[in-house]
Amino acid sequence: MRLKFCRLFLGFNMLSYGQDSIEYFPQEQLMIENCTDADNEAQCLYKHMQNKILSFLEENKKIITKHSKDTLGVMANFEVDENLQIIEGKSWFSIKNRKLDKKLGNAVEQIFLDLRFTSVSNRKKPPIVSRHILNFMYLVNPRAENVFTPLESDKKYSGGTIEEIPRFPGCEGLNEQEARKCFQQQMQNHIKRHFRYPKEAVEKKLSGKVAIIFIINKDGEAENIRTRGPHPILEKEAVRIIKLLPKMVPGKQNGVPVKVPYSIPITFHL
């Protein structure tokens, strides 16, 4: 009898954290050529992209006014790597109108992917990934001379959120990409090292996949462990393994420790 290890998927998602509570270090500011002399880099970038999108809407006003008669929202949620490049696989851009997003969403995405950042300020060393969220709203009035009017967003953009995942002992000092790989490898090693197929499960010929959801808290400890599997005996073993996780360096958002949820499946196979 042995444990058949499935691929270990780690569902990583940093919890939101109120910007008013962030005091550790300033948010990351991306610089573009048009904003090199700006007093507020974040607002300059926001206004630059607001106008870029406005030009795009004007070019496509015939199709847009057909499907939108009141207000139109556009959202950008993207990560920027150490080389100041938008990470496409971890970023998304959308028009908050299903029909228009289907028709024009790819074109809006390209507007952001064409962005070229010249530098960055407030970046923590070593360089780590930051997430930027920009929301734009436009009043749509087909009868007006200016069909689209930019509206003030209630979600102010003040720079990027710098996220750091929890670090296993031995994974400290790595950049985010290396730390993710190290975390996954260490988690796999931990499960292999501590796994014991329950005797009662062997006798009852129990097998199957147990989904485990837990949180690494602000102190770097695993808590709030929940499971879903084919039998309580297998779920109990999965919980035991997670409870044996070592204390980690907690995940952070702009330097402030935060809770980080993880999801891991373990397949028991006789």
Q: Is the pTM of this model over 0.85?
A: no
What are the residue boundaries of the structural domains of the chain, listed by start?
Answer: 28-159, 176-268
| 190's tokens | 């931990």
User: In the chain, where do the E strands start and end?
Assistant: 29-31, 71-80, 92-95, 119-121, 130-140, 148-151, 161-164, 208-216, 222-228, 252-253, 256-257, 260-268
Q: Sign of torsion, CA 88 130 14 245? A: positive
User: How many Å apart are CA 182 and CA 257, to the nearest integer?
Assistant: 20
Rg, the chain, Cα only: 23
Contacts 24+ apart (CB under 8 A), 111-115: 111/49, 111/52, 111/53, 111/56, 112/49, 112/76, 112/78, 112/86, 113/86, 113/88, 115/32, 115/49, 115/86
Residues 21, 134, 179, 265: what is their CA dihedral angle, to the nearest 10 degrees? 100
158 exposure class (CB count in 10 Å sphere: 0-12, 13-18, 19+): middle
Query: Which positions of the chain have pLDDT values less than 70?
Result: 1-26, 123-128
The pair phi, psi for residue 60, each rounded to 5°, is: -120, 25
Q: Which CATH class is domain 176-268?
A: alpha beta
User: How many Å apart are CA 143 and CA 132, to the nearest integer?
Assistant: 34
| 126's tokens | 């070593």
**Cis peptide before 126, with omega less than 30 degrees from 0?**
yes
Residue 71's DSSP bridge partners are: 139
